[in-house]
Chain A
Amino acid sequence: MNYIPVGLTHFLVLSAVLLVLGIFTMLTRRNAIAVLMGIELILNAANINFVAFTRYGAINLGGQAIALFVIVMAACEAAVALAIVLNLFKRQGSINVRQADQLRD
């Protein structure tokens, strides 16, 4: 049984795929919650990069630390964002982000 040794490139490719999926989700989904999920994907793609660079790179545990910070920040961000979504729902009766275009005016 041959194992393909897992290297930095695999992580980076995974991270890039996650990032693109995240961006795609964030830009195309109409549901505000789904958009938030896309953002989570982007953040976690970054986390994977940080962690992978800790294992293979020269930044020691810095990557691990930043990943933790990102997780905490993501939690905060989720809390704030969900509050916004709640208010959005109160305001327009739905959480469709296509309808939330009052910024244009």
Chain B
Amino acid sequence: MDQLILLSLVALGLPLLVFLLVIFNQRALADRAHLIALPAMAFSSALACYVAWIKVRTPGLLAIEWSADWIRFGNVPGLGPLVIRHSILLDNMTAILLVVVTGVSLLVHVFSIGYMRKDTRYARYFAFLGLFTFAMLGVVLAGNLFQLYMFWELVGFSSYSLIAHWYERHGPQYASKKAFIVNRIGDAFFFIGILLLFSEFRTFEFREIFGYIEQGLPLSFSMLGLAPETTLTIAGLLIFCGAVAKSAQFPLHVWLPDAMEGPTPVSALIHAATMVAAGVYLMARLFPILTGNAMLIVALTGAFTSVLAATIAITQRDIKRVLAYSTVSQLGLMIMSIGSGAVAAGFFHLVTHAVFKACLFLGAGSVIHAMHRALHDLHDHETDAQDIHNMGGLFRRMPVTGWTYLVATLAITGLPLTAGFLSKDEILAGSMAYGGLQQGIALAIPWIGLAVTLLTALYMWRQVFLVFFGNPARPAVQEKIRESPYVMTVPLVALAVFCVWFWFGRNPLSAEHGWFLSKWVKTPASVVPPQTAPPFRPAGYVPPPQEFASQPFGAAITPPQEGAHVWELPPMPHQVALERARVANTGMAEGAALGSALAGFLFAFVLFVWRPSWSASLRRAFRPFYNASQRGWYLDAIYDFIVVDTVMLTARVTAWFDRRILDGFVNLAARATVLLAHITGWFDKYVIDGIVTLTGATVQFLGLMARSVQTGRVQTYLAWVVAAVVVALVVLRFALFHS
């Protein structure tokens, strides 16, 4: 086994070990749980860094794979030999995500020591952080769909447990259930997609699935009698459904804002940096099998989600809900980027977003922590500690939190010198290229991207101005605010440091030649048949002769071999065209992105600093829109109406049916039984017992009769003797002499 695989397995196992150690010793560990969790996470993180460093610095080392048979089903009738394998796939994408997951997890662990201090379930909290980290690393390392799905569900479960950390309250209960159920909906489709691929190719391995599809689609690859190409599109979209739920894309994004009921560090780790990025990672991993139509739908879904969430974010009052909708919006951008073929850019944004959004969430956590403390000191239990309209002027009071928040805000809004600027530009350039080549409805995608950039700047600066600058909404509270302890500010600083451009390339204005995009991560080559790929080709492209263009249908396909293969395919023609257009568009994308980010900043500055009264009059003028936006365009209400009410109504009807009809039958049967029992009881008592009594009485009567003979008096006996003699004489007289 390769040394890197072994090390990454150790990094994977450590958090699980933490989980097992802590969850079974909660009482004993209590407030010391971090003494186990923290060193293990630090070690795991160091291992991940080492693995990633070796991996990305070794040229030509595209993907390291390792697999071992897990369950051998033998020769299954109708299926053939079936083996489910443990597989590890370690390519650069995986290696980088290992660092991101363990790194953010480590910093969140540190932060949590301060944030969760004195919590009643301190040990349980750290146990589930460990479980989550384990599951997330498992998703990242999985080399086949089956294993990925298992860890995928485990991620969902640990997220559910952590949202419900304060399960005594109604909010977290409801939110955790909602998150779990909404995720189940997407995962059901995801699983169908996995099985659709499995039913044709008899394997879950990424490499084998890609290899088979690359050789041409067999005619038998068909769902409901559809053509193989259509089926491939459907398979891609079914798998995308899993990403829609996990990465909170429209229409399944509703769980993420509610998930903010969990502890803030959990929001930072799970609902901002890593878990929600799992869907993006999944799409990046399975990008090679996305057909042109699937790509378009993915891109449009992402674009729509990002603009929808951004319009909701600008009116939210809760500091965490702003960030939650911001996360949904940014995830939409990543999905959009993957859909428009710029996988590397989407993945790049995933990484930078993980860093700055974790920083923002931890910063928000630090603010909430300080607000709670201040309100507690003032014995004020009415004021909402998370409402940004209750804050203001916190910058002077909390300089470290303020500065780091500012840096992360610069990064998310995409201003130069930050990592966010680089990744957002790449996404916009990719979407411009895609929109220009794909034409039609895809032309809207780059415009949506720019609008989202503007809105992002607007809502983020609104938040920064309302929280950290301006006049304190409550001077009494503001006087009491103090900076959070070092254990909370150090992770903030660490994350803020990673928000700058330097980590991803030397040039602060373009990531094009930075090592992240030029050396570390490349858009994987698509393997779909050319006729299903997006319809554009590079200029001067000569299609190859037909016999090489695609395998004839029905030709026997051979299993892909181990070794160099699908990971090293050249990009398909449409990808080449896309790449050229993207390079051509980079400059324009940068200008446009910077322009819209600055415009957003200016809007926010005017509305919340220079002329605050204007924002109030705007709010009055657009009251219906403001209300609709604040309530998430009433999507929750619509879902409540369509889904929840329907389910509840069905439940009530079935309950009524159960109680009235089914229970009625049961009661009727019971009554009939009782009645029958009465009848048989009566019969028993009077007929059967009567017969018995009669027998007894008869015997008694006969006994009495017989006993009456036995008087004990000699004279009676003598009388009988006399009578007998008389009878004997009479009998003899007639019997002997007259017969």
Contact = CB atoms under 8 A, between A and B. Distances in A.
A35 B714 CA distance: 10
A27 B711 contact: no
A41 to B, nearest CB: 14
Interface string B716-739: 001100100000000000000000
Nearest to B725: A23
Interface string A28-53: 10000001000000000000000000
Interface string A81-105: 0000000000000000110111111
Given A23-B722, A27-B722, A103 B715 contact: no
Contacts of B714: 97, 100, 103
B715 A26 contact: yes
B712 A98 contact: no
A26 B712 CA distance: 16
B710 A26 contact: no
Given A23-B722, A27-B722, A102 B712 contact: yes
B257 to A, nearest CB: 103
Contacts of A27: 715, 718-719, 722
Interface string B671-714: 00000000000000000000000000000000000000011111
Contact of B713 (A23, A26, A100, A105): A100
A23 B718 CA distance: 9
B718 A98 contact: no
Contacts of A101: 711-713
Nearest to A26: B718
A62 to B, nearest CB: 23
A50 B415 CA distance: 163
A20 to B, nearest CB: 10
A27 B712 CA distance: 14
Contacts of A105: 712
Interface in A1-45: 23, 26-28, 35
Nearest to A105: B712
Contacts of A97: 713-715
Contacts of B710: 104
Contacts of B711: 101, 104
A35 B715 contact: yes
B722 A103 contact: no
B719 A104 contact: no
Contact of A98 (B713, B719, B722): B713
A26 B719 CA distance: 9
B712 A104 contact: yes
Contacts of B715: 26-28, 35, 97-98
Nearest to B709: A104
Contacts of B718: 26-27
Contacts of B712: 100-105
A27 B716 CA distance: 7
A28 B711 CA distance: 15
A87 to B, nearest CB: 14
A27 B720 CA distance: 10
B713 to A, nearest CB: 5
B710 to A, nearest CB: 5
A104 B716 CA distance: 11
A81 to B, nearest CB: 11
A10 B50 CA distance: 155
A100 B714 CA distance: 8
Contacts of B722: 23, 27
A35 B432 CA distance: 148
Nearest to B707: A104
Nearest to A28: B715
B526 to A, nearest CB: 118
A44 B558 CA distance: 138
A42 B719 CA distance: 14
Contacts of B713: 97-98, 100-101, 103-104
**Residue from the set B711, B712, B715, B718 with the largest chain A CB neighbour count within 10 Å:** B715
Contacts of A104: 710-713
Nearest to B722: A23
Contacts of A28: 715
A26 B717 CA distance: 11
A29 to B, nearest CB: 8
A97 B713 CA distance: 7
Contacts of A26: 715, 718
A28 B719 CA distance: 9
A47 B558 CA distance: 139
A23 B726 CA distance: 12
Contacts of A35: 715
Nearest to B710: A104
A100 B716 CA distance: 12
A105 B714 CA distance: 13
Contacts of A103: 712-714
Contacts of A23: 722
A105 B710 CA distance: 9
A27 B719 CA distance: 6
A101 B713 CA distance: 5
B406 to A, nearest CB: 122
Interface string B617-633: 00000000000000000
A105 B509 CA distance: 131
Nearest to A102: B712
| Most A C-beta atoms less than 10 A away, residue of B711, B712, B714, B718 | B714
B352 to A, nearest CB: 118
B738 to A, nearest CB: 22
A102 B712 CA distance: 6
A105 B713 CA distance: 11
A94 to B, nearest CB: 14
Nearest to A98: B713
A101 B711 CA distance: 7
Nearest to A104: B712
A23 B713 CA distance: 16
A58 to B, nearest CB: 20
A98 B714 CA distance: 8
Contacts of B719: 27
A97 B714 CA distance: 8
Interface string B348-390: 0000000000000000000000000000000000000000000
A86 B439 CA distance: 148
A104 B712 CA distance: 4
A51 B517 CA distance: 161
Nearest to B719: A27
A105 B711 CA distance: 9
A36 to B, nearest CB: 12
B136 to A, nearest CB: 101
A103 B711 CA distance: 8
Nearest to A30: B715
Interface string B392-424: 000000000000000000000000000000000
A97 to B, nearest CB: 6
Given A101-B711, A101-B713, A104-B711, 17 more contacts: A26-B718, A27-B719, A27-B722, A28-B715, A35-B715, A97-B713, A97-B715, A98-B713, A100-B713, A102-B712, A103-B712, A103-B713, A103-B714, A104-B710, A104-B712, A104-B713, A105-B712
5 contacts: A26-B715, A26-B718, A35-B715, A97-B714, A101-B712
Closest 8 CB pairs of A and B: A104-B712, A101-B712, A103-B712, A101-B713, A27-B719, A27-B715, A104-B710, A23-B722
